[in-house]
Amino acid sequence: MTTTTTGTSTVNGSVGTAHTRVEGRDKVTGAARYAAEIPFDELAHGWLVVSTIARGRIRSLETAPVLEMTGVLTVLHHHNAPRVDSDYVGMLGTPDPTAAVFQHDRVPHMGWPVALVVAETPEQAREAAEALVVRYEEEPHDVAFSGERPDAYAAEGHMPAVTEKGDLDSELAASAVVVDAEYTTPEEHHSPMEPHAATARWDGGRLEVLDSNQGTTWVQGELAKMFSLDPDSVRVRSEHVGGGFGSKGLRAHQVAAVMAATALQRPVRVVLTRRQMFSLTGYRSPTTQRIRLGADADGRLRALEHRSLSLTSTVHEFVEPSAGVARVMYDADAHHTANRLVRLDVPTPTWMRAPGEAPGSFALEAALDELAEKCGIDPIELRARNKPERGPVSGLPFSTHNLLACFQEGARRFGWADRDPRPGLRRNGRWLLGTGTAAASFGAGAMPSTAVVTAEADGTFTVRIAAADIGTGARTALTLVAADALEVTPDRVHVRIGDSDFGPAMIAGGSMGTRSWAWAVTAAAAELRERLTLGTGIPPEGITVRSDTSAAIGALAQKERHSFGAQFAEVAVDVTTGEVRVRRMLGIFAAGRIVNPLTARSQFVGGMTWGISMALHEEAVRDQASGGHYGADLAGYHVAAHADVPHIEADWVDDPDPDDPVGIKGIGEVGIVGAAAAIANAVWHATGVRHRHLPIRPDRVLPAGAAAEGERDA
Ligand code: MOS
């Protein structure tokens, strides 16, 4: 089939073929501009001043001396900043009022924004910000997170707080084998390479914000509501983004920049420092999780309980829904889950790659490994025996459930069959060696989006969609999807993203970006092709079609929709130094149709790398005395570096989503899920000692190592 515009034979095979990033050349040559690099005439620079106490009130700000400093234009604070509406419901629920800066004198946590100093240059702004004297009435703070808090309460977030089926105690009592263990994960941070940055300006009566975010529609909508503006009079652009992982939504710096641009009637840029990111851009809450499993001797679960406690701030409720993973993965006659919260004088946590599933899978998949050991059953066989037929809590059918196919392929490639299940047996010089495995899952969804596709008079096609490419390769994936939908080669498709003027679209989040956008692009392209087959010829301005997938997505049947995966790790542990090295990892995923194998593999490997980091390195430590972090920087907060990361292989099994026009599920988050558990399980296999607290630091391995040596000697 040919179209009137191509005059060439048709193509329909771009999806599924490796394609380098369409913006790759711009990125490596520096032509791609990030939010803090875009030049403006008359640009002024804002620097945030953040609180040095964890709880209390601002008594005074001594602005007069600062306003006399060279280059200083203004100081915004709670006495002079514009009032905003922070009591609205936005695209993702009620926003974190941390973004509604300078509205009151209350300080709810260390690092809370108390002022913005604006000057002609960033250096002048920073110097003046550091010179600003702020006096506080300090109140006692409470930042102590532990599983023992009597003030913890069940909290909903985006899923029910508690699910309960069956009589847990009687099923546990009737079980041949029981695992009852507490697992903890620490506070973790997103650490994107590009710090948050925004420039705001008024341009012909419209507010324009150049930003680094995960969704221009999202930030546009939030700013419009907050400043009581018509959404059409707000334009947010975010063309290139150096990582987000959940942290790049509406934050204090965009709001402060808009306030300053309004006050000064000049473009104002606010860039966060790495240190400020630790208190202003969200993070993953620490968790304390208790898992109780009861099984028959053959490993079949009679009882499953997964309770998770996380923290939130005093200004906003955010739940890290770690117990949610148990509602998907395993069924039991008695099945109880609960997500609970405690409110502390800390910044509000937020979504961070695989929110819930990342820490939840550490606990659950480590507990499964303990159960496998106690039952004397291979960990993969144990999971096979407990594969649920339907959603354990929802009772809904799964759209596809290819977890076991992942384990089969993974076991074959990893050499699992040769593994001696007994721990502490393999030694290589000073290293004890072990292997471990764990399951992964993450929700596969789609959200309504709009897309605009234009057939240009020169035979090319332009796709416009308010998508975000946060480093994932989304722009390239959409180019391939559009090419197939238009039946042309990718070089004839130009995809433009990151502009709220293109119409509402899903954010890059929840592993739903590419699927949601691809659906809208496919729908617009299909209609455009119909228009083109009418053969009317293309006028100079082109022919443009707009799609909206709201109705199609609203009509989707209720099902359990998930990506799955099987994680494998081999570690070497030196119990005399406490050092753990990951030697190799393999992840096999069932994550829908893979659009671009090149960038998809990179996504999976990136998630698995973060799993290494989560298992062994990452930990933000809060000082109880000050209420702030120790070492809020990338020297003190260690993320896996190149030398920590071994050969990692990621691949997938065939798993097209039956209800998606392209077969996509979404791959952004499943790569981290289960990865830390596979490593912890491998550390047990190497040493015979269970590590239930992340990260598995040398000081945690040392005493455990000594105990293990002692046990073996005895
Ligand atoms: Mo992700 S936590 O949905 O950016």
DSSP string, 331-398: --SEEEEEEEEEE-SSPPP---SSTTHHHHHHHHHHHHHHHHHHHT--HHHHHHHT--SB-TTT-PBB
Q: Evaluate whether 347 touches 109 at the Cβ level (below 8 Å).
A: yes
Q: By the 8 A CB rule, do 179 and 363 touch?
A: no
Residues in CB range of 497: below 8 A, 6 or more apart: 239, 464, 465, 466, 467, 468, 469, 474, 475, 478
Q: How would residue 8 be classed by pLDDT, with cut points 50, 70 and 90?
A: very low
First to last CA, the chain: 77
In the chain, where the domains are located: 1-7+396-444+556-714, 447-554
Q: Could you tell me if 131 and 296 are in contact, meaning their C-beta atoms sit under 8 angstroms apart?
A: no
The Cα 703–Cα 578 span in angstroms is 9
Q: Which atom of ligand 1 is closest in space to residue 508's alpha carbon?
A: 4
Q: Report the pLDDT value the prediction gives residue 68, as an integer from 0 to 100.
A: 98
Q: What is the mean pLDDT of residues 643-649?
A: 97
pLDDT of residue 534: 82
The catalytically annotated residue of 222, 305, 487, 669 is 669
Distance, CA 517 to ligand 1 centroid (Å)? 16
CA of 246, closest atom in ligand 1 = 4
- Check residue 706 and give its pLDDT: 67
Task: State the distance from the centre of ligand 1 to the C-alpha of 121, rounded, in angstroms.
Answer: 33
Ligand 1 centroid to residue 355 C-alpha, Å: 7
Q: Is 621 helix (H, G, I), strand (E, B) or coil?
A: coil
Amino acid sitting at position 180:
D
**pLDDT over 80 at 713, yes or no:** no
Output the CA 514–ligand 1 centroid distance in Å: 13
Q: Which atom of ligand 1 sits closest to the CA of residue 352?
A: 2
Residue 614: DSSP 8-state: H
Taking CA atoms, 157 is separated from 97, 152, 250, 575, in Å, by 16, 15, 18, 41
Q: Which mutation among 190, 241, 245, 322 tests ligand 1's pocket best, with the greatest number of atoms within 8 A of CB?
A: 245
Closest ligand 1 atom to Cα of 470: 4
In the prediction, which pLDDT does 712 show? 55
Q: How far is the CA of 595 from the centre of ligand 1 (A)?
A: 19
| pLDDT at res. 87 | 86
Contacts of 668 (CB under 8 A, 6+ apart): 353, 472, 508, 509, 510, 511, 513, 514, 603, 607
274 CA to centre of ligand 1 in angstroms: 19
346-380 per-residue burial string, b: 16 or more CB within 10 A, e: under 16: bbbbbbbbbbbbbbbbbbbbbbbbbbbbbbebbbb
**354 Cα nearest atom in ligand 1:** 2
pLDDT at 4 over 50: no
pLDDT number for residue 280: 97
Q: How far is CA 690 from CA 141, 383, 679, 683, in A?
A: 34, 19, 11, 8
The mean pLDDT of the chain is 95
pLDDT at residue 152 in the model: 97
Average pLDDT for 594-610: 98
Residues contacting 173, CB < 8 A, separation 6+: none
pLDDT tier for residue 537 given thresholds of 50, 70 and 90: confident
Per-residue pLDDT reduced to its tens digit, 386-419: 999 999 999 999 999 999 999 999 999 999 999 9
* Residue 321, preceding peptide bond in cis (omega within 30° of 0): no
pLDDT digits (tens, 9 = 90+) for 478-533: 999 999 999 999 999 999 999 999 999 999 999 999 999 999 999 999 999 999 98
Residue nearest atom 4 in ligand 1 by C-alpha distance = 246
Which CATH code is given to the segment(s) 447-554?
3.30.365.10
pLDDT tops 70 at residue 11:
no
Please state the φ and ψ torsions of residue 220, each to the nearest 5 degrees.
Answer: -60, -50
CA of residue 375 to ligand 1 center, whole Å: 36
Query: How many whole angstroms separate alpha carbon 131 and alpha carbon 457?
Result: 58
Position in ligand 1 atom list of the atom nearest CA 355? 2
Which atom in ligand 1 lies closest to the alpha carbon of residue 247? 4
Average pLDDT over residues 62-78: 98
The rounded distance, in Å, linking the Cα atoms of 352 and 511 is 12
d(CA 513, CA 532): 28
Distance, CA of 196 to CA of 294 (rounded, Å): 46
Beta strands 493-496; 461-464: pairing state: parallel
Q: Output the pLDDT for position 439.
A: 99
**Residues of the chain above pLDDT 90, percent:** 93
Contact residues of ligand 1, CB 6 A cut-off: 214, 244-246, 351-353, 355, 509-510
CA atoms of 389 and 621, how far apart (whole Å): 41
Is domain 1-7+396-444+556-714 annotated with CATH 3.30.365.10? Answer: yes
For 311-346, the DSSP string reads EE-SS------GGGGHHHH---SEEEEEEEEEE-SS
Q: Do domains 1-7+396-444+556-714 and 447-554 have the same CATH topology?
A: yes
Using most ligand atoms within 8 A of CB, pick from 92, 158, 351 the residue to mutate for ligand 1: 351
Active site residue 669: yes
| For residues 532-553, average pLDDT | 93
**CA 703, 709, 712, 714 torsion: positive or negative?**
negative
List, for residues 653-710, the tens digit of each pLDDT value.
999 999 999 999 999 999 999 999 999 999 999 999 999 999 999 999 998 666 656 6
C-alpha to C-alpha distance for 223 and 215, rounded to whole angstroms = 12
Q: Which H or E run contains 64?
A: helix 63-67
pLDDT at 710: 60
283, 669, 670, best to mutate for ligand 1 pocket (most atoms within 8 Å of CB): 669
Closest-lying ligand 1 atom to the alpha carbon of residue 350: 2
Tens digit of pLDDT for each residue in 153-191?
A: 999 988 999 999 999 999 999 999 999 999 999 999 999
What pLDDT score was predicted for residue 311?
A: 98
With both helix axes pointing from N to C terminus, report the angle between 675-687 and 357-375 in degrees, rounded to the nearest 10.
30
Return the SS3 of 93: strand
Centre of ligand 1 from the C-alpha of residue 327, in Å:
20
User: In sequence order, what are the beta bridge partners of 188?
Assistant: 284
Tens digits of residue pLDDT in 555-599: 999 999 999 999 999 999 999 999 999 999 999 999 999 999 999
- Per-residue pLDDT band for 714 (boundaries 50, 70, 90) equals very low
Best of 241, 353, 603, 610 to mutate for ligand 1, by most ligand atoms within 8 A of CB? 353
The CA 285 to ligand 1 mean position distance, Å, reads 14
| DSSP label of 147 | T
Tokens describing residue 238: 């975010």
Q: How far, in Å, is the centroid of ligand 1 from the Cα of 31? A: 27
Which residues have a Cβ under 8 Å from the Cβ of 130 and sit 6 or more positions away? Answer: none
Task: State which ligand 1 atom lies nearest to the alpha carbon of 353.
Answer: 2
**How far apart are the CA of 587 and the centre of ligand 1, in A?**
20
Nearest one of 376, 213, 358, 204 to 286, comparing CA atoms: 358
Q: How far is the CA of 511 from the centre of ligand 1 (A)?
A: 7
